[in-house]
Structure 1
Amino acid sequence: MSQKVFNTVLLRTRGSWTFCLICVALLGMSTANKESISSLEVTDKTENQEKMLQNLNKTVHMKHAIIRIDGFRVEQSEKEPRVSDNGIPELMSDTQVLLRIFGTGFTDNMEIVLTSKPNPFGGPCLVTSTEAFPIIRGSVTNRTALVHIIVPHVSGDLFFCAKESYNGTTVESAIGTAPFVHQGICDWLRLRTYEKILPLWVSLVIIGVCLMFSALFSGLNLGLMSLDRTELKILRNTGTEKEKEYASKIQPVRDHGNYLLCSILLGNVLVNSTFTILLDGLTSGLIAVICSTIAIVIFGEITPQAICSRHGLAVGAKTIYITRAVMLITWPLSYPTSKILDLLLGEEIGNVYNRERLKELVRVTRDINDLDKDEVNIISGALELRKKTVSDVMTHIEDAFMLELGALLDFETVSEILKSGFSRIPVYEGERANIVTLLYIKDLAFVDPDDNTPLKTLCEFYQNSCHFVFDDVTLDVMFKQFKEGNKGHMAFVHRVNSEGDGDPFYETIGLVTLEDVIEEMIQAEIMDETDVYTDNRTKVRRNKTKKQDFTVFAERRENHRIRISPQLTLATFQYLSTTVDAFKSDFVSETILRRLLNQDIINHIKCKGKTALILVFRSINKERL
């Protein structure tokens, strides 16, 4: 258009100054028109872009207006969520949480973020507190979806923002770069965070300390409480130097048994609870339960109790100051509780061993202590003295060696006494149960068998009294009486016989000696050089070297022309067997020699003077031998 105007003007004004001026004016107009046209083109382009952006924004808002979160629920959490008074869930920061959100317009391309800035529904999320969390693909249903979030370190309330994310062109690309849309500030669309109580390293240190104290309290509970007060007293008096030292330290604390027990248990419960709470703060609930159970059982119960069951005295003594400190700290609760237990259960006395338990204790520990078998038997026998009576150990009257009061103390009787091997001989009158006196073997020291002294005469001279006891007297009482020695070391056992129609009477049924009591005490038979039997009750004969039996020389031969006394026969036997070579045991046995002397080969020669008698004996020996 401007070019046409310019040509027309040029034709009309050719060759004049006016032409020049017009040309200049037209050139200016042409330039202005070009600038105007360019400005119009730019303006139209800008308006078109603005309209396009407005349309896109309307499309974006229409898209996001479809997504609406109406509520949420915590499905899983590393740390169990807490709930505030107004129902807002509280999650530990820096933990992963699985949320189930409820609402409309959910797709697999949706993302959510958390913001601490409140805004009405549909408003922009100006500041986000977390990164974008995509919806778990495949979890979207009609009105729900699942999403994993990481709880941020933000104090205060957190709100939800959501958008649908696309990676395409044109409209979808614009939507992908659109901001998140705020989901509102309702209480049911809020969550809060809370921080861990302690730093990680502090929690680990406290957990380790709690586990050590748990082990200590568990071990002390078994080690100290298993130490009986009686046992501690024994160790203080009879133990080694270390045991005496340890027992002296533990005894004052152990005397307060219930107070000590309550203090240890309170301390153990306290550290175990603290350990579990701190471990639960570091891990999830199930892992915390499993880890705390394994740690407490292995390191807090089994290991320390296994150690303290064997070394409780040493462990308790070396940790006595910790024990005292725990008793002082827990005093407000443990001391009143212990007093209540004292009133309800009574004072702790300690283990008391009766005879049976003490005897069994000695017996079962024989293999691990330094007691010999004989020592164990002596201890056991001494403890049983009060249980046994004289009727259990007595020799029955039928089995006792006794003499009748009318007997003569000739060679035969004395030989029988020597053969019996007893030092005390009961003397009866009439029947064996009627014991009247005792004959001691030492009473025969001045008795010549050739005198045929009546036994009654000897008994009346010495007048040895008899000691009678009832059959139910225990051996400890009997031993005490024998020990005093006032009534001798032999007693006759009698009982009341009420059988029959007559009046009851005392009946002697046996005898008991000091040796019998001592044998029961040492649980063994005492054998001396004169004993014939190993046991006076079982009548088991003793295996010993046979001694010479003098009673064989007391045999009476009615068909002998000349009778000599047994003493002379014995003297002849001893002379021939020891002096004359031909009659020694190397050539002739003693049995043959005794049989030879029992033959009727003795002549009675009367002579005067001792010398003539010796000569006659020699001549007789020469003639006969």
Structure 2
Amino acid sequence: MSDIHLTFQIAALVVLLVLSACFSMSETVMMAANRYRLRSLAAQGNRGAGLAIDLLARTDRLLGVILLFNNLVNTAAATLVSVITLELFGDERWALGIATLLVTFAILVFAEITPKVIGANNADRLAPIVAYPLSALLRSFYFAVWFVNLFSRGLLALLRLKPREDNSGALSVEELRAMVIESGQYIPHKHRSILMNLFDLESITVEDVMTPRGAIEGVDLSDPEDDIRRQIGTSFHTRLAVFDGDREHVVGVLHQRRLLSNLLDESFSAERIRELLARPYFVPADTPLYSQLQFFQENQQRLAFVVDEYGELLGLITLEDIIEELIGKFTTSTPDAGDRMAWNDEGSVLVDGSANLRELNRKLELELPTDGPKTLNGLILEHLQDIPETGVSMKIADTPIEVVQTQDRMVRTARLFRPVPRPEEQ
């Protein structure tokens, strides 16, 4: 009879260790589970994932029910080991000491470390499963869990520690950026590049991507009508900036489609063009690209003139410029020399002085500074603090630059040389 009783006690001890392992694994599973994956499964109708999300919304109750039963089971196992030891060896202190070490080892290895490692490696798969028994235990023993948490909250109040509200659904921009970077096997490179550019829209201003004032193609109403007609006829743009004697005085925007529809019935003249002009739309230079995209949508505009704090015209930005900043060059009716920009066999390339620095960095894989001037001409002038002569060379951000042509107090053409990698980079 005593053998049967001892066998029953040993079997009960094994059951307690298994239960302890289950609770330990459940704790790790719930804490390590990917909450966004659980939300995705819950949206697809997975009831276990929905229960897991509900449990994680109140971590104090979740941890309360897990630790309550885990500690009860561990305490019962330690007590049962003492009872078995007393029955086998009597009141021998050495036997109780060895039994204590053995049960500690068993709990540590079989009920703590091993199940927690298993849970951490399979958290997303096991979370919807363990959520069922945990939810049932929480409903059945809600008062006991509430009573224990009552003392826990009182202790936190004495320590002046206020539990934070669950903010697991909030991610910072840098965390989202890291998630996109690490999602290489799930998101194609092109899509990942678009997402990365989207994160930068708040830090990039319209001044960074605008067409500089000197490169704006427009019509001057003070020119002879033959010159105006030739300018409109050879333009690659559907919308043209219109000036009146001064390149800084924009009087409107000419939509060529509207002009063509009116010329079918009426003669061509500068005054007729003035009547067809749309009101110009101006934006500050420090407007973030994302905000400008919203402004374009709200005002139903596709083109805006960029001005500084004094109202001076700096350049022009279009809806296509913002879209291309997101997804790269996609289509254009204008011959773009930037598309042919590449290093030659000698490791150099001729670049227009009005080239955008961000575009140069992207196409030539350079690291020219973009926190100051936005064009290559502006960068050279700022670096030299003077208007350079032809043949002047310099090095900016490890990139050798040679001035090839200057005209009208600006660098028209420059030659860039491929940077030589540093020894540590090699």
TM-score above 0.5: yes
Counterpart-to-counterpart distance in 2, 1:387 and 1:419: 36
Counterpart-to-counterpart distance in 2, 1:477 and 1:302: 51
Equivalent in the alignment of 2:39: 233
Q: Which amino acid aligns with 1:222?
A: T
Equivalent in the alignment of 1:338: 149
Equivalent in the alignment of 2:416: none
Counterpart-to-counterpart distance in 2, 1:495 and 1:337: 63
Give 2:329's match in structure 1, choosing from 505, 520, 525: 525
Cα distance, 1:329 vs structure 2: 6.4
Equivalent in the alignment of 1:178: none
Give 2:167's match in structure 1, choosing from 349, 372, 379: 349
Mapping for residues 535-574 of structure 1, pairs under 5 Å: 537-538=356-357
Equivalent in the alignment of 1:70: none
Structure 2 residue runs of 5 or longer lacking an equivalent are 86-94, 340-354, 364-426
Change (3 A) 1:306 1:458: farther
Q: Which amino acid aligns with 2:13?
A: I
Equivalent in the alignment of 1:423: 238
CA deviation string 1:157-198 (max 9, x = no partner): xxxxxxxxxxxxxxxxxxxxxxxxxxxxxxxxxxxxxxx999
Equivalent in the alignment of 2:293: 479
Tell me, yes or no, if structure 1 residue 217 matches structure 2 residue 23. Answer: yes
Equivalent in the alignment of 1:385: 201
Q: Secondary structure at 1:345's aligned position in 2? A: coil
Structure 1 residue runs of 5 or longer lacking an equivalent are 1-195, 498-505, 544-625
Q: Which amino acid aligns with 2:249?
A: N
Cα distance, 1:229 vs structure 2: 6.0
Equivalent in the alignment of 2:376: none
Equivalent in the alignment of 1:440: 255
Equivalent in the alignment of 1:467: 281
Change (3 A) 1:463 1:378: same
The two structures have a TM-score, normalised by structure 2, of: 0.65
Equivalent in the alignment of 1:301: 112
Q: Which amino acid aligns with 2:117?
A: A
Tell me, yes or no, if structure 1 residue 359 matches structure 2 residue 177. Answer: yes
- Check whether the contact 2:206–2:285 (CA below 8 A) recurs between aligned residues: yes
Cα distance, 1:236 vs structure 2: 1.4
Counterpart-to-counterpart distance in 2, 1:417 and 1:463: 14
Equivalent in the alignment of 1:256: 58
Counterpart-to-counterpart distance in 1, 2:225 and 2:108: 87
Equivalent in the alignment of 2:134: 323
Q: Which amino acid aligns with 1:308?
A: G
CA deviation string 1:411-470 (max 9, x = no partner): x6655556552222212234322222223333553799xx9955x334313122110111
Counterpart-to-counterpart distance in 2, 1:408 and 1:443: 21
Change (3 A) 1:209 1:421: same
CA deviation string 1:549-600 (max 9, x = no partner): xxxxxxxxxxxxxxxxxxxxxxxxxxxxxxxxxxxxxxxxxxxxxxxxxxxx
Q: Which amino acid aligns with 1:205?
A: A
- Check whether the contact 2:34–2:124 (CA below 8 A) recurs between aligned residues: no
Counterpart-to-counterpart distance in 1, 2:41 and 2:7: 45
Cα distance, 1:508 vs structure 2: 1.3
Equivalent in the alignment of 1:159: none
Counterpart-to-counterpart distance in 2, 1:289 and 1:485: 77
- Check whether the contact 1:527–1:534 (CA below 8 A) recurs between aligned residues: no
Change (3 A) 1:234 1:213: same
Counterpart-to-counterpart distance in 2, 1:414 and 1:211: 91
Cα distance, 1:512 vs structure 2: 0.8
Equivalent in the alignment of 2:393: none
Alpha-carbon RMSD across the aligned residues, in angstroms, is 3.5
Q: Which amino acid aligns with 2:103?
A: S
Cα distance, 1:352 vs structure 2: 0.5
Change (3 A) 1:534 1:416: farther
Mapping for residues 20-419 of structure 1, pairs under 5 Å: 199-227=5-33, 232-237=38-43, 239=44, 244-282=46-84, 284-324=95-135, 326-327=137-138, 331-339=142-150, 340-341=152-153, 344-367=162-185, 369=186, 371-410=187-226
Cα distance, 1:286 vs structure 2: 4.6
Counterpart-to-counterpart distance in 1, 2:83 and 2:260: 101
CA deviation string 1:373-404 (max 9, x = no partner): 22223333334433432222222212222332
Change (3 A) 1:197 1:405: farther
Q: Secondary structure at 2:214's aligned position in 1? A: coil
Cα distance, 1:491 vs structure 2: 0.3
- Check whether the contact 2:13–2:81 (CA below 8 A) recurs between aligned residues: yes
Equivalent in the alignment of 2:385: none
Cα distance, 1:526 vs structure 2: 2.7
Change (3 A) 1:316 1:496: closer
Q: Secondary structure at 2:208's aligned position in 1? A: helix
CA deviation string 1:20-63 (max 9, x = no partner): xxxxxxxxxxxxxxxxxxxxxxxxxxxxxxxxxxxxxxxxxxxx
CA deviation string 1:506-533 (max 9, x = no partner): 11111110001112233x1233243424
Cα distance, 1:483 vs structure 2: 2.5
Give 1:490's match in structure 2, choosing from 293, 300, 303: 303
Count of residues in Structure 1 that have an aligned counterpart in Structure 2: 326
Identity of aligned residues (%): 25
- Check whether the contact 2:49–2:127 (CA below 8 A) recurs between aligned residues: no
CA deviation string 1:586-622 (max 9, x = no partner): xxxxxxxxxxxxxxxxxxxxxxxxxxxxxxxxxxxxx
Counterpart-to-counterpart distance in 2, 1:530 and 1:255: 55
- Check whether the contact 1:236–1:248 (CA below 8 A) recurs between aligned residues: yes
Counterpart-to-counterpart distance in 2, 1:332 and 1:262: 11
Counterpart-to-counterpart distance in 2, 1:258 and 1:251: 14
